[in-house]
Structure 1
Amino acid sequence: MAAADRRTFILVLILLCILPALTPVAKSKPVHNYADALSKSIMFFEGQRSGKLPLTQRLRWRKDSALSDGSDNAVDLTGGYYDAGDNVKFNFPMAFTATMLAWSVQQYGRFMGNDLPHAVEAIRWATDYFLKSTATHGVVYAQVGEPYGDHACWQRPEDMTTPRTSYQVNTTAPGSEVAAEMAAAMAAASLVFRSIGDRNYSRLLLGRAVQVFEFADKYRGSYNNSIGNAACPFYCDFSGYQDELIWAAAWLHRATRQTLYWNYIVENLRNPEFKWRMEGNNDEFNWDAKNAGINILLSKVRFFVLANGLESSTPFINYADNFVCNILPESPTRYQHFSSGGLIVNSKICNMQSVTSRSFLLVTYATALKRWNRTIQCDGTIITPSRIVRFAKTQVDYILGDNPMNMSYMVGYSEKYPQKIHHRGATLPSIDVYPQFITCHGGAPYFLSPNPDQNLLIGAVVGGPGEDDQFDSNRFDAGKTEPTTYVNAPLVGALAFFKALHRQ
C-alpha cells in the first residue's frame, strides 16, 4: 500500500472511532417480544380453569377444583373458567371471553405458530362447558357459585367451601343477554373448529348456537331480573340485551351464511327497542356492550357489498369509522380520554379491558380497510390503516412496558411486572407445597402478606393504572391488580397481529 493510501486509511479509521462520540444517538425503544407475550397471554387461561384439569396442563400449581358443580340441580356443570381472582363462574363475561378468543383465532390464528393448539384448547375449555350449560331445552345456566359467600373468603379453588349454587334462566325467567352471548361464542367457535377439520364438533356447536339464540330471542328479558343479586352488582347488564341479540345474529350469519340472520339484523335496526340502544353506545366494546364489535364485524360484509356495486343501506361502516375517529388523538372529533402517558382511560376499575378490546378492534378494522383500499375521513383529517395500527401498537406496548412506570402489566413478561395481584390461586400456596386444607379465612395471612405471590399466574394482565399512570402492586386494590379473562382474550388477537407484523 502506498504511503498516501496508508494515511487515508488511518484517517478513515480515526473518523470511524470518534464520529459516534460526536454524533448524538437517539434512544430508541426496543421492539417487544410479541411472540413471547402471546404465548404467555394464552397460558394465563390455564390458570383460570375450573374442573378436572387435563394432562396437558402447563401451570402445574393449579389442581382439580369444583368437581361437583351443577349437582344442586342434578346436572353436570363442571369445567369452564373462573372469571378473575375469585372462584365464581360468571357465564356472561365467560362467553364474551370465548367469543373473543374465537375471533382472535379466526383473524390471526395463522400467525400463532406453536401457540395455536393452546389457543384452540382454551376455546374448547369454554365451549365444552357451554354445551353442558345449554343441554336442557329451554334452560340456560348463567352462573355457578354464590358470589357473596365466595367474595367473603380468600380460599384456593381446590379447597372451596362456599356454596356452588347454579343459577339458570328459562322460559319464565329469561336472560337474553347471557343466552345470546353464549350463542355467539358457540357460533364463533364453530368456525374455528371447522377451519382445523373438526367438523363434527363444529356442527355440534353451531346447532346448539342456533337453538340457544332462538331461546334468547323468543323469551326476551334480562338476567338482571331473573337471577337478581347473583348477577348484580358483579356483572349487571347495563347496556340491555338487544346488542347481544344482534351480536349473536351477526356471528350466526358469519357461520351459516344464511340470509335470515342478516334480515334479522337489518329489521331489528329499525325496531325502536333496538335502534336507540344500538346508536347510543357505538364506541363501547366489552363483556356488557357489543356495539363497536358488531360494527367492525359486519363492516366486512358491507365492504364486500360496496366493492361489488350492490346496495348498502346499513350504517356499520359509518359507525366503525366513527369508532376510529372518536379514539385517534389527532382526530378533530376525538373524545376518548388518555392518561398523560398515552393510555386509553375509560374506567377506574379494570381499565385495561377498554385498552385490549379497543386495540383488537382497531387492528382488525385497519386490516379490513387496507384490504379494501380505504381510508377514514375524520372531519377533514385522513386516517390511514397504517396510522390506526401504529396507534394500537402504542396501547399494546404500554401494557408490555412502554409506560411511565417502566413495567409490564402482564405477569411474567419482562423483568418488572406486578408481584402481588388480587387473585386467590396465585396468592395462596399450591397443594404441592402446602397440602393441608385452607379454610375460608385461612388464606387471610397470605392476602395481607407484603411478600410476592406464591405462584406465578403467567400471562395475567391486571386492571392497570388510571389516568395518573401510577401503579402500586397492592392486593387490596382489586380494580388495578386483579386479572380477568375478558382483558386477556382480545389481547391474544392483537399480540398475534403484532407478532406477524414484526416477524418474530
Structure 2
Amino acid sequence: MAFTTTMLSWSVIEFGGVMKTELENAREAIRWGTNYHLKATAYPDTIYVQVGDADKDHACWERPEDMDTPRNVYKIDRNNPGSDVAAETAAALAAASIVFRKIDPIYSKTLLKRAIKVFQFADKYRGPYSNSLKPIVCPFYCSYSGYQDELLWGAAWLNKATKNPMYLNYIKVNGQILGADVSDNTFGWDNKHVGARILLSKEFLVQKVKSLYDYKGHADNFICSVIPGSSLSSSQYTPGGLLFKMSDSNMQYVTSTSFLLLTYAKYLTTARTVVNCGGTIITPKSLRAIAKKQVDYLLGDNPLKMSYMVGYGARYPQRIHHRGSSLPSIAVHPNKIQCSEGFNVMNTQSPNPNILVGAVVGGPDLHDSFPDERSDYEQSEPATYINAPLVGSLAYLAHSFGQL
C-alpha cells in the first residue's frame, strides 16, 4: 500500500498537469492511502504493518462483508525493525506531501513531518521486516530485495520534498552501499533500486546537482537494459512485444517500467540530452514509443486482442482472482457465504458476476497466453501496485494522443 501511494503521488507530481478532471480523483486516492499511513505511524518508532492472518485469510474465499477471519494487528518497532516497509512508508508520506503542498499546506506539512520521523526510525533500527515477522508475512509478502533499496528511495523522496542538504549528504555517504547492485533492473513493490536512480537522476539532469552524476549513468544503464534490440539489452519480451520480467504478476513490471520510461523521457527532454546505449542513441521520443507500445499491449493491442484492464475494451478477463468480484453480491445473495463455501464458486468456469472496472491483472505468460482461470493468481489477480504506476502513464498518453 505504501508503494501504491508513492507511485500515485509520483504520477501526480510528473503528470498531474494533464490529468484534467481526473486530478482530483487521483488526489483523493492518495489521501485515502496517506490517512491510513498516518494512523499506522501514530506512535514513535512503531509502524503497524499488517492486519489479519494471511494463512487464515487465504484459506477462505468469502466476500469482504462476510469476513470473519482473525483481524490480528502486527507491528515493527525498535526490537523488531523493518527498514524496508518503514522507508517505503516514509517515501509515500514525503511524495504525497509534494502533491498537497499548494492545495492543502497544513496536511502537506503533517505528512512531511511524519515522513521525517518514520525515515529516522527506518534508518536507525535497520533490518528487513520479514525477518522479525517472518511467520506472519511470509511467503505472501516477504521482502526479497532487502531494505537497502528502500532506504535510498526514502532518502531520495525526502531530499525532493524537503530540499534539506542532510538528505543529499545521506545519499552521498550511503548511496553506493544502498544501491550497490547497479545491474539490478527490476522496479516494483519490493525493489526500488531503479526508481531511486531515475528519481535522483533528475537532480543531476535538471537541478544540476553534480554529486549525483553517477545516478544519470545508472539510470542510462537501466534504459539500455530494456531497449529491444539494443546491444546492452538484458530484458525478455514476449513474441507479441510485452516486457516480461517474471511469471508472477508480470504486469506490475510493465506498468512500473512504462512509467519510468515516460518520466525519464521528460527529464531528458528538459535537460536536452539523450541516452547512449553502446553507440546507439536513444532519444526521449523513442522511450515514449516503447512505453506507449507496452500500454497499448496492456489495453488490447496484443495477439489475443485481450485488454488486461477489466471492463475496458471488447474483450477482457472474466474470471479474475478476486473474492468480491467472483462471489454474488449481498443484493443478489443476502445470506452469509461461509469461509470455505465460496470455493464452490471459485472453482467454476462461470464469469465473475461483479466487474471490477479498471483493475489490471497479472497478465499473459512469456508466450502471450492467458488462460483466464480464477485459480491462477499469478496471471489473474489484480493489485493496487499494478494500477498505481499506470495512472501517470495513461495521463501522459491520453494527453499526448488526444484521448482524454
Aligned to 2:299: 400
Aligned to 1:90: none
Q: Is the 8 A contact 2:311 2:357 kept in 1?
A: yes
Aligned to 2:238: 339
Aligned to 2:146: 240
Deviation at 1:305, TM superposition (A): 4.8
CA shift digits 1:116-139 (9 cap, x unpaired) = 111111111111111110001121
The residue type paired with residue 82 of structure 2 is G
Residue among 90, 100, 121 paired with 1:215: 121
Deviation at 1:354, TM superposition (A): 0.9
Matched, 1:473 2:375: no
Is the radius of gyration larger for structure 1 or structure 2?
1
1: CA distance, partners of 2:313 / 2:10: 27
CA RMSD of aligned residues (A): 1.2
Aligned to 1:146: 53
The residue type paired with residue 17 of structure 2 is R
Q: Is the 8 A contact 1:305 1:312 kept in 2?
A: no
Aligned to 1:31: none
Aligned to 1:169: 76
Deviation at 1:332, TM superposition (A): 1.0
Aligned to 1:39: none
Residue among 191, 208, 221 paired with 2:98: 191
Extract structure 1 runs of 4+ deviating beyond 4 A: none
Residue among 250, 266, 291 paired with 1:367: 266
Matched, 1:279 2:182: yes
Deviation at 1:99, TM superposition (A): 0.2
2: CA distance, partners of 1:313 / 1:104: 23
Change in Cα spacing, 1:472 to 1:171, as seen in structure 2 (3 Å) is same
Matched, 1:96 2:8: no
Segments of structure 1 that go 5 or more residues without pairing to the other structure are 1-93
Aligned to 2:170: 264
Deviation at 1:330, TM superposition (A): 2.8
Which runs of structure 2 are paired with 1:447-462 in the superposition (5 Å)?
Answer: 447-462=346-361
Aligned to 1:64: none
Q: Secondary structure at the match of 1:377?
A: strand
CA shift digits 1:368-395 (9 cap, x unpaired) = 1111111111111111110110011110
CA shift digits 1:377-426 (9 cap, x unpaired) = 11111111101100111100000000000110000101100011000010
Q: Is the 8 A contact 1:426 1:455 kept in 2?
A: yes
Matched, 1:410 2:313: no
1: CA distance, partners of 2:298 / 2:206: 34
Change in Cα spacing, 1:430 to 1:375, as seen in structure 2 (3 Å) is same
* Identity of matched residues, %: 51
Residue among 378, 392, 395 paired with 1:493: 392
Q: Secondary structure at the match of 2:374?
A: coil
TM-score of the aligned structures, taking structure 2 as reference length: 0.97
2: CA distance, partners of 1:482 / 1:498: 25
Q: Secondary structure at the match of 1:237?
A: coil
CA shift digits 1:321-363 (9 cap, x unpaired) = 1111111113111110110000001111111011000000000
Q: Is the 8 A contact 1:369 1:385 kept in 2?
A: yes
Change in Cα spacing, 1:194 to 1:342, as seen in structure 2 (3 Å) is same
CA shift digits 1:455-474 (9 cap, x unpaired) = 11000101011111011111
TM-score of the aligned structures, taking structure 1 as reference length: 0.78
Q: Is the 8 A contact 2:149 2:179 kept in 1?
A: no
Q: Is the 8 A contact 2:298 2:308 kept in 1?
A: yes
Change in Cα spacing, 1:313 to 1:178, as seen in structure 2 (3 Å) is closer
Q: Secondary structure at the match of 2:182?
A: helix
Residue among 181, 203, 217 paired with 1:318: 217
2: CA distance, partners of 1:143 / 1:367: 36
Deviation at 1:181, TM superposition (A): 0.4
CA shift digits 1:129-174 (9 cap, x unpaired) = 1111000112111111100000010011111111111110001110
Q: Secondary structure at the match of 2:100?
A: helix
Q: Is the 8 A contact 2:93 2:114 kept in 1?
A: yes
Residue among 94, 101, 111 paired with 2:18: 111
Segments of structure 2 that go 5 or more residues without pairing to the other structure are none
Instruction: Single out whichever of 310-319 and 469-478 deviates more from structure 2.
Output: 310-319
1: CA distance, partners of 2:214 / 2:193: 12
1: CA distance, partners of 2:368 / 2:233: 21
Deviation at 1:238, TM superposition (A): 1.1
Matched, 1:441 2:343: no
Change in Cα spacing, 1:315 to 1:416, as seen in structure 2 (3 Å) is same
The residue type paired with residue 105 of structure 2 is R
2: CA distance, partners of 1:382 / 1:314: 19
Q: Is the 8 A contact 2:236 2:244 kept in 1?
A: yes
2: CA distance, partners of 1:275 / 1:501: 34
Deviation at 1:107, TM superposition (A): 0.8
Change in Cα spacing, 1:311 to 1:113, as seen in structure 2 (3 Å) is closer
Q: Secondary structure at the match of 1:410?
A: coil
Q: Secondary structure at the match of 1:279?
A: coil
Matched, 1:424 2:323: yes
